[in-house]
Amino acid sequence: MGNTFGRLFRVTTYGESHGGGVGVVVDGCPPGLALAEADIQAELDRRRPGQSRIVSQRREADRVEILSGVSDGRTLGTPIALLVRNEDARPEAYAGFRDLYRPSHADFTYEAKYGVRAWAGGGRASARETVGRVAAAAIARKLLRERWGVEVVGWVEQVHRLRAAVDPRRVARRQVERTPVRCPDARAAARMIRLIERTREAGDSVGGVVGCVARGVPPGWGEPVFDKLEADLAKAVLSLPASKGFEIGSGFAGTVLKGSEHNDPFVVRGGRVRTTTNRSGGVQGGISNGEPIVIRVAFKPTATILQPQRTVDRRLRPAVLHARGRHDPCVLPRAVPMVEAMVALVLIDHAMRQRAQCGK
């Protein structure tokens, strides 16, 4: 119930933060795709905790195991099951507040829904669940790259009030990966890192914005009316932990422009219909127009902070929470591969739907 995403390229994630492991089942991957664990591991290494001093210090290798769906290095067309075992789970770190509702976490809401909750680390509400998404998206990205020439690149655009200058048309992954904060603007990245370090020392957290671009998407992907491409992208990225806002193209800034300022004029370039500007963000009428698809995702400050917080317990008595554990003072650096993953999963599903319906 709500653990499966996609129509033709379907992914179902499983596992809890401090359980035996996490993973995903991918159903609908075409047969014959060359696939090895190394293809998936490269993406998981970008998502895993402990990779720098400004993220969670939980030590997980996040080694992926392919359990089914691949033989002799190629996909079979059958479900692909992927598993990542939890190696550094410490549920005892949460025992002291198993009966407390942590402010701005999913503790209260999960218990309100199910009558029970996984109190150690938030269970399914933890960002640990995104391991399965990133693993599945590694397959999606390989298909998009090899069969359609599509590239997806994400970056940290803003941390708290610090903003970076990034050109979505030219930003490359190698630029993004040069700093632990995953911001391709070197000057802004240095300031962001200092801010995150100071915030960690104060026992607090900060949020920000992740930008993402998909280049090479042909015109025609997307469905009317309820499965518009931007609608599916919004649902996908807003399903990520800590996400709170979505923009495509000009986003909210477009509300202060007039139609004469906002419209993207059409021209013919290289025998193809193109637009001279891209305020639409690559999508018009819910269908891709061949321009880069540009989105931005807002993430709130990490809910776990190392400062006393007022709350209540399960018996509705006032309490003070003194949180412990290994948490990101800022989710942005590790959110980049997560946003990329959800964009790739949306695009591969629409690519396959377009091919099934229109033969291209």
Q: What is the mean pLDDT of the chain?
A: 93
CATH number at residue 154: 3.60.150.10
Q: What span, in angstroms and rounded, lies between the C-alpha atoms of 30 and 356?
A: 12
103: which 2 tokens?
A: 């402010």
Exposed e or buried b for every residue in 196-218, given b needs 16+ CB within 10 A?
beebbeeeebbbbbbbbbbbebe
pTM, 2 dp: 0.95
- Tokens 């377009």, located at residue: 354
Check residue 326 and give its pLDDT: 65
Kindly report, residue by residue over 251-286, the tens digit of the pLDDT. Answer: 999 999 999 999 999 999 999 999 999 999 999 999
Contact 296, 247 (CB under 8 A): yes
Structural domain including 293 reads 4-358
Q: What span, in angstroms and rounded, lies between the C-alpha atoms of 235 and 180?
A: 28
Kindly report, residue by residue over 76-112, the tens digit of the pLDDT. Answer: 999 999 999 988 666 666 667 788 898 998 999 999 9
161: which 2 tokens?
A: 């009030």
Kindly report, residue by residue over 143-153, the tens digit of the pLDDT. Answer: 999 999 999 99
Count of domains forming the chain: 1
The runs of H, that is alpha helices, within the chain are: 37-47, 107-114, 130-143, 173-176, 186-201, 229-238, 259-262, 332-358
Q: What span, in angstroms and rounded, lies between the C-alpha atoms of 19 and 139?
A: 25
259: which 2 tokens?
A: 């139609």
- Residue 12 β-bridge partners: 4, 25
Best CA proximity match to 107, nearest among 325, 303, 305: 303
> What is the 3 state secondary structure string of 61-101?
CCCEEECCCEECCEECCCCEEEEEECCCCCHHHHHHHCCEC
